[in-house]
Amino acid sequence: MALRTSKAETEAVIDMAELGARIAKRKAELGEPDLPRNSGANRTPSKRALLKAIKDAGGEW
């Protein structure tokens, strides 16, 4: 995993842009597979309420 070191941190930092590019390249090599979304069958009442609130606010994820 490509890492760089932040001046403000003592540990390695993953650059999200580099991470995404590397994954995209790997996905192309594998034939563009995608992870399926979860069915949502195991959601807690709190999670279902939060998702409803997001949808009611106009969120389209």
Q: Give me the residues that bind another protein (CB under 8 A), please.
A: 1, 6, 9, 11-17, 19-21, 23-24, 26-27, 30, 33-42, 45-47, 49-51, 53-61
Write phi, then psi, for 20 (nearest 5 degrees). Answer: -60, -40
Query: Minimum distance between the CB of residue 16 and another protein, rounded to whole angstroms?
Result: 5
Query: Minimum distance between the CB of residue 49 and another protein, rounded to whole angstroms?
Result: 4
Query: Minimum distance between the CB of residue 22 and another protein, rounded to whole angstroms?
Result: 9
Using alpha carbons only, what angle is made at residue 33 by residues 31 and 39, rounded to the nearest 5 degrees?
Answer: 165
Maximal CA-CA distance, the chain: 43
